[in-house]
Structures are given as C-alpha cells and as structure tokens.
Chain A
Amino acid sequence: MTTTTPATRYETVIGLETHVQLLTERKMFCDCSAAYADAPPNTHVCPVCMALPGVLPVMNRKAVEFTIMTGLALNCEIPPFAKFDRKNYPYPDLLKGYQISQFDMPSTQNGWVEVQVEGEEPRRVGITRAHLEEDTARLTHKEGADGESYSLIDMNRSGVPLMEVVTDPDMRSAEEAREYLLKLRQILRYMGVSNANMEEGNFRCDANISLRPVGSAEYGAKVEIKNMNSFSAVYNAIQYEVRRQTEELDAGRVIAQETRGWVEDVNEAFGSDFAKGSTVSQRSKEGAHDYRYFPEPDLPPLTVDLSYVEKIRAALPELPDAKRARFQSEFGLSLYDANLLVETRAKAAFFEEAVAAIEDPTDAGRLRFARLIANWMIGDFTRLLNANETELADSRVTPKRLYAMISLIEQGTITGASAKSVFEEVFRTGGDPAAIVKDLGLEQIGGSDEISQIVDKVIEANPKPVADYRAGKQEAVKFLVGMSMRETKGRANPATLTEILKQKLEA
C-alpha cells in the first residue's frame, strides 16, 4: 500500500490508549480465575465480581507487579504512592455501576518508548501513564423469536485485571502508530504480562487523532476512534480519519470533538489507495459522561517502596531493544537480522541456545556459526514454520539440532543442497541430523573417483550436449552439471563436480 500522508499543510497528531488484559491467575479484586477464555458463561464468578450487595474488593498484588514491570519497561516513573478511584457511569456490563481505576495517582507515569518506522530515524513516543483498572462483563445482543431484542450478560470477564497504557500525543502517522503498538505488544509479551492479542480482545486500542497546521503549537480538535480490532484496523482507521479531517479542514469546516467508531467493509471511501471502511460518529464529547471520579474508600492507598521496585527491575527480562543491540554487537548481525531474531522472546531464546552450543573455540568460528544459525532461522526455518502454520514453541527442531546440522555442513559431511532435505526431515521428525543423513544416504561424496565415475556415465549418456560444449557452446556445461548432481542426489560438492566435468570434456 502506498503511503497516503496528506499534503504537508497539516501535521497529524496521534495519541493511543491501549487496554491490556493482564495474565494474572486471579481477577483484579477477587479470587476467581482470570483464565475465562473457553469457559461457559458465568462460571468464573463470585459475590465480589458479581457486585452483590455488601462485597468488598481486595487488590491483586500480582496485577500491581505486572503494571510496575510494564512501567519500568516503558521507562516510567514509579511514584511511591498510588491510589484507586471510582469511575462512575451506568451501563449493564459495569456491574457495580462504577469501575475501580486509577485517576490522578497512577502506579506508573511519564515514560517513553522508542519506535522506528522503516526508512526513518527512531523516535521516542512519550508514555503518559500505565494504570490499573478492571474489565467489565460481556454483553451479547440478541433478538428473540418475537422480534424483540434482548441482551445476555457473561460475568466471566467482570473484574479481570486491565492495564491502560496511555501515550502522549506524539505519533505523527498511521505507520508510527502501528510501530508503537507492535513495540508495546512485543514488550508485554516479552515480560509475559499479557497475551496482547488484539483479535482475542485482550489488547484493545483507541486512538485520539487531530490535525493542525504545520508549525502550529496548538492542537486541533481531538477525535477519538474506537472499535479497532486488529493492527490493520488501527492503521486503516487512522489513515481514513486523517484523510477525512484533511478534507473537512480544506473545505473550511470545523472538526467536531467527538467519538467515532471504525466500521470495516462499508465502501471505498477515498479510492483504491484506502482500505474499505470508514469512521462513523458515535457520540459528541460535549454530551459525554461526567465520571465523577473519587478515591476508592474500600482500598487503602498503595505505598510502593523503592526496594520493591528495584527487586522488580532486577527481575525484568532483557527487553527486545537491548537484546537486538547485543545481538548486533556480539554476533555482528545486521540490524534487520537482529530485529527478526528478537521479534519474540522464544525466537531470541532459540537463537541464544543454538549459539551456546557452538563448539568452535575461535572468535571467527563463533561469529561464522552464529551468522549461519541466524540465516537458517530467518530463512528455511521460518519458511517451514509459516508453511506448516506452526509456532516456534511447538516446533520439533531444537537449537542443538539446528546447530548440529549446520556443523555437518561445515565439516563437509553434507552439502548445502542436502542440508535442505536434512533440515526438512529434522523439522518433520525432530530426529538427530547425523542419523538422518545416514538413513537417507546423504553423506557428501568425498572421493573424486566416485564423482569421476558418475561424470563418465553422464558424458556417455548425453552425447548431444557434450558435442555442443566441445563445439564451444559454454552453457551446455550447466545441463551436464545438473544431470551429474541429480545422479549424486545432491551429495557432491558442486564446485568439485564442475571441475572434474570440465577436465573430462576438455581432455
């Protein structure tokens, strides 16, 4: 898709609010299991998360820890005091009639994360805060046989810990917004604090978008976009909204501060450069709720002492940016390759385990092997994983086996061509590469005698190309090399084979 940044008259200003379901065992304020994904409706419930009269919330310490971990990973301050507040609004999915959230004293604030759009310089996106709150119940709207509409409530989701990560209005394009979300998701997954899966609804994003004349210091009227359920939806909705606001401003109209919903597949709003879909006005902000925040009297303020924060910091895993930089400097990998390897924590760990298996004691050898491991991971291994729709974690290939196979190539036991077949077999069976080589008879043909015999056979069987070559048609050798390689089942070193073939043709 082409970049459709509008004319340079306006600067796009984007801030994102992302709701992240935390992977705690228990819900935010009760002992119910938070793993409700496949559970029948209303089975992960208790008096507390059903908001029965007389119940009280008890804070889930793990959720606080996960939020502080996230704050640290996003370079946030962790204030020594935080508190919970009640956010009041009536809706049937909010069972208490208020949401316990953090209003003016969040657990983390004032951080940043670096994002980089391909081909541009890396930029910092400011993190306003990452605070804790609770998820609502889930409503399903139905229509009965009599045509009357009704709704069903599933309270399993009610009270599941939710962390809201709010950015400063620092992003300037849909690309940047997408990179930010990918980065946030990557960090959350690295730390294991969330599945951060948009399609499953445990990573939900709202975008605030405004335009302003280039050079202006003031922000334009902010439009909040909701209902974006995938990364592409976020990207497309922002693209659409920027274009819409541009047209409004160009036409001399005023942008209304409002909430709009992204609706996919309606029509092609702005021609074929744009995805199908549009943003639709939901409600104007003027009539928005007054949430009447006030301190939650059922929960004492949180005191967070420095030693606790430092303990969490010390236990943080190495994060993707640091890991990428280390892979580059330690193994001489390119930025591109290093980025691919740190994409997930599992992938990076696989690489590191494979590298740890390297037996070559020399620096040069270690670097050579590391690059080969990287190449195999990024190339054939990734291709096979994709083709088989398999996750790395579910793959039968172990880091040691990958290294063992690469060693066989390096030792000359197998050729590069054979290695592909061997790896496919390792991928399929998880077997030992050396054993597979033996089973399939793929040891490289070492002796030139054996190659010589095969070449003789090929020359004898193909008089026409032989004659052509001898008549000066150089390309004819390729056919003969190919035929010979086929005879060896790829087990011969192609250079050696070509050498011998030429010698014999020219003799």
Chain B
Amino acid sequence: MDLHWLSIDEASRRLDAREISSRELTKAVLDRIEAVDGRVGAYLSLAAESALESADAADKRRSDGERGSLLGIPVALKDVLSKRGLPTTCGSRMLESYVPPYDATVVELLDRAGAVVLGKTNMDEFAMGSSTENSAYHPTHNPWDLERVPGGSSGGSAAAVAAGEATFALGSDTGGSIRQPAALCGVVGMKPTYGRVSRFGLVAFASSLDQIGPFTRTVRDTATVLNAICGHDKRDSTSAPVDVPDFTVGLDRGVQGLRIGVPREYMPSSLDAGVRAKVEAALSAFESQGAIIERDVPLPSTEAALAVYYIIAPSEASANLARYDGVKYGFSYTQGKTMWENMEMTRGQGFGAEVKRRIMIGTYALSSGYYDAYYLKAQKVRTVIRNEFDAAFEKYDVLVSPVTPTPAFKIGEKANDPYAMYLNDVFTLPVNIAGLPGISVPAGLVDGLPVGLQVIGKPFDEEAVLRVASAFEAASGWQDQHPPL
C-alpha cells in the first residue's frame, strides 16, 4: 500500500519495526500533496521543510528507544489552531499576515507526542460555514467529486485525510464542523465532549460550543489521537478535570447488549433516501450484532436547535471577533482620517460576508431591549435541549443518526442561500448545544458520494461512542476505500 494511505496504527507499527522511517512517510505524504492538492485545495500553507526536520527528530527519538503511537506521524492542522511560527489565517484576510508567537495546547501535546506537522488546512472564514466556500483564499474540493464541496468549516482537514494528504488532521467543531465534512469526505471525524480537549490556542468562534477533534481514516486512529490531545489544561478554565482513559482499549468489545436509540426528529420524511438507507443498514448491522435498537426516541426541541445555535454562536462570535480592529495585528486599514474610520474600514474590508452577517446577528441579539427575547431565551431553550438528551441517555447508551440530510452538494449551489446552508447542520449542532461527544463514521457511498453515520454519547463517554463506531466500521467494510483522484 502507498505510504500516504497508511493508518496511524499501521504506520506506527511499521515505524517501530524500522520498516519505514518517519522521513520516508512524511516525504510520501508531501509528495501526495504535491500531486493532488492543486486539484483538492486542502491546504492554505505548507511547512514541508520543518515537517521533514520534525520527521528526522522523530526518527532520532525512535532510534533512542522512544515509542509512541503518534511519534513521526504526519498531521495537518486546521488553520484556526495556533502554532508558533506558522501562519494562522483562520481562512480570513483579516489574519493574512498574522503569525502566532505561541503554541495551542493541542499543538504542544502533538509536539510532545512527536507528530509531524505538515501545514495548515483550509476552512470557512473563522469557522463560519458548512462548505469551506467561505475561505477568503480558495475553495476546497471534495476528493470524491471535485465539483462538490468537502463540507465545512473544517473542509481542508477532512479533504486532506480523505485524499491521502495527511495521515490524520485536527479540526474544530462548533455546530458540526468536524462531523459534517468527515461525512461528506468519507473519513472518521469526532467532536469530543465539551471540555475534553483544551481550547487554548484555538481561535475562538463560539466559546461555549467550540471543541477540537480529530479526522482519521479509522476509528482506532481517532481513539489514538484522542489519547494524545484530551485532558485538563489549566490554561482553559472550561476544560474538565476528568480522567482520560485509554480510548483504544474497549474498541473491539462490540455492541452486544448495548441500547441504541434513534432520535425521531433525526429521521425526517425529507431525509435523502440514500442517506436513510445507509442508516437503516447500520441499524440492521447493530441489531444482528446483539444491540437493542429503539426507534422514535423523542428529542422534540430539535427543531429549535437551529435557532438557538444561530443566536448563541453569533452572540459569542460578535465579542470574540471584536479584537480584530487593525490596531494590534493582522490586516490594518490606515488611510482613514480618524482612528474610528480606520477601525471600521479594517473590519469592513478584512471580514467576509458570512462573518459580517454573524457579527451583526450576534450584536443584534445581545442589544439592550432584545437580549431577553433572543440571547436569554436561547439559553433557556439550550437547557431544555440538554435535558431532553439527558432523558434519552437514561434509557440509551448511545444515539445514532445520519450526519447530514444529503451527500455533498455542488460548489456554489448554496452559496447565496445562507438558510439552506445552515440546514446542513441540523443533526450535528444539537450535539454542540448539549456539549456531547459525537462521531461521524463512513456509512458508504450514495451515488458515488460518501455519507456518514453519527453516534452520539453521554458527556465524557467517548468510549461508548468509539465502541459503537468501531463495531459499525467493522461491519460496513468501508476501510481502505479511497477517492478516485
């Protein structure tokens, strides 16, 4: 098998056996990027030279006797994660020239584990979007059909892993930004429980919803990456002081006796027939493996989740993005007559349309006279949504659903219809609202395009989610399917 298709698991086995070196592996992935990224557009910036240096350092560590699942493994970082010395644009003109002087906690952890950073991947500007079309630089193309979107906002990371341009990648998920592109690109993508992974160094979109997670080509690899990046961080007060288990341990236990619920509202009549069939197939597989399946589990407030999300996320964003004023870093308009004119023009020209739309929505929702009707009410409904999940999890170990209502759509198809775009995330964003762990695992192809199965778990019960996802992966036989690039 080509080195660029190796899973983390297989690559580290071969590295340990001295069959390959990290330099060879890294070089192979860089060659793959060279070969296909002109068509895919997964990366915003590459760090080939430093990647090879890191690879050599990893090889040295290994020859010194060190072992580690991520030692010498090439990784791509969504361009919203700070890595000292590498540009961190967030897909925005605003930060075109910004290079952070510090490492995000996850970057530090990956560095400690010896992972090799290849570069930064494309994304919707400030993680706002579901197609990566909102990147200020270029769109990313779905490796399965270059005319289609890879999903978003972490579309670059999903496409990179799907196209063999990275052994794994990190993304961020605020309303589905890992799971949705993972589904559309046919890779595994997971959003851990809110508080599982430190957000320090993740450029904030919506602080109470953002969570960092991995893209991999196998469920086991996701567990391996989680082992490296999860854990309490004193620099993030919202990171949970909760023990981190070895997530790879229970993967193969199967679903025998597990209670699996299927939320009624996540299987609407409008659901794409192909997507529905894939979910049904998954349920049959679980049933045949001894799981107890319960359909029609009520999550009645699901419909309100979209509204709740589009009040809370823009509200938080309106404050989080206030720091981009051209005074300290990044894009700065300087031709104005007054300081205020410079600040306004900086924001007017530095931000794209979707970012401006959300800043305005958030500013409006927080304004005096509207706060109670919008922000406060949204927080109350958020509690209701959480309670409904809590009630469901009293009966079920996990919930299972489609990730998206349809497979990948064409580039440009929804670009001028924000609401149609927002509907892409109806099955994923309630999971962020409730702070739960959720995974997207490949469920097969519909008309040649990948779709995903979502498994949602109780807070801090990533183990159950991974166990169910792993069982499904084994049954689906998806592994080793690659796009025809």
Name A residues whose Cβ lies closer than 8 Å to a Cβ of B: 47, 50-59, 86, 88, 90, 92, 95-98, 151, 153, 290, 292-294, 297-300
Contacts and interface: CB of A to CB of B under 8 A. Distances in A.
B238 A300 contact: yes
Interface of B: 80-82, 88, 90, 95, 98, 100-102, 104, 199-204, 206-208, 234-238, 315-316, 318-319, 321-323, 325, 327-329, 339, 343, 363, 366-368, 371, 375
Contact of A54 (B82, B321, B375): B82
Contact of A90 (B207, B315, B325, B367): B325
Contacts of A151: 339
B322 A298 contact: no
A300 B319 CA distance: 17
Given A58-B235, A298-B237, A53 B323 contact: yes
Contacts of B80: 54
Nearest to A93: B327
6 residue pairs, one from A and one from B, having the closest CB atoms: A97-B322, A297-B207, A292-B366, A297-B208, A53-B203, A54-B203
Contacts of B204: 53-54, 298
Contacts of B98: 53
Contact of A95 (B208, B328, B339): B328
B237 A58 contact: yes
B319 A88 contact: yes
A152 to B, nearest CB: 11
A396 B291 CA distance: 85
A97 B237 contact: no
Contact of B327 (A53, A58, A153, A300): A153
Given A53-B203, A54-B82, A299-B237, A47 B323 contact: no
Nearest to A47: B102
Contacts of A95: 323, 328
B17 to A, nearest CB: 38
A383 B102 CA distance: 56
A30 to B, nearest CB: 9
A294 B368 CA distance: 11
A56 B200 contact: yes
Contacts of B339: 92, 151
Nearest to A153: B327
B236 A292 contact: no
A151 B338 CA distance: 12
Contacts of B316: 294, 297
Contacts of A51: 323, 328
A461 to B, nearest CB: 84
Contact of A294 (B90, B315, B329, B343): B315
Contact of A92 (B102, B315, B325, B368): B325
A52 B201 CA distance: 9
Query: Which of B202, B235, B329 has most chain A Cβ within 10 Å?
Result: B235
B52 to A, nearest CB: 26
B322 to A, nearest CB: 2
A52 B199 contact: no
A56 B199 contact: yes
A293 B363 CA distance: 11
A286 B85 CA distance: 47
B234 A52 contact: no
A57 B95 CA distance: 21
Contact of B318 (A55, A57, A88, A96): A88
A54 B237 contact: no
22 contacts: A52-B100, A52-B329, A53-B82, A53-B100, A53-B204, A54-B81, A54-B88, A54-B202, A58-B234, A58-B237, A90-B325, A96-B319, A96-B322, A97-B319, A97-B321, A97-B323, A153-B327, A294-B315, A294-B319, A297-B207, A298-B238, A300-B238
Given A151-B339, A297-B208, A52 B375 contact: no
A109 B363 CA distance: 29
A90 B321 CA distance: 11
A54 B207 contact: no
Contacts of B206: 297
A294 B237 contact: no
A57 B238 CA distance: 10
Nearest to B233: A56
Contact of B237 (A52, A53, A57, A96): A57
B366 A88 contact: yes
Contacts of B328: 50-51, 95
Nearest to B234: A58
Query: Which of A50, A56, A290, A299 has most chain B Cβ within 10 Å?
Result: A56
B367 A290 contact: yes
A297 B435 CA distance: 13
A95 B343 CA distance: 13
A162 B93 CA distance: 35
Contacts of B95: 53
Nearest to A155: B328
Contacts of A88: 318-319, 322, 366
Contacts of A98: 319, 322
B366 A294 contact: yes
Contact of B101 (A52, A90, A293): A52
B208 A54 contact: no
B195 to A, nearest CB: 10
A52 B203 CA distance: 9
Nearest to B126: A53
B366 A96 contact: no
Contact of B323 (A57, A96, A293): A96
Nearest to B206: A297
A57 B339 CA distance: 28
A292 B368 CA distance: 6
Contacts of B319: 86, 88, 96-98, 292, 294
Given A98-B319, A298-B238, A300-B238, A54 B104 contact: yes
A109 to B, nearest CB: 21
A227 to B, nearest CB: 20
A442 B88 CA distance: 80
B314 to A, nearest CB: 12
A27 to B, nearest CB: 14
Given A58-B237, A297-B208, A47 B101 contact: yes
A242 to B, nearest CB: 31
A88 B339 CA distance: 18
Nearest to A88: B319
Nearest to A150: B339
A55 B203 CA distance: 7
Contacts of B101: 47, 52
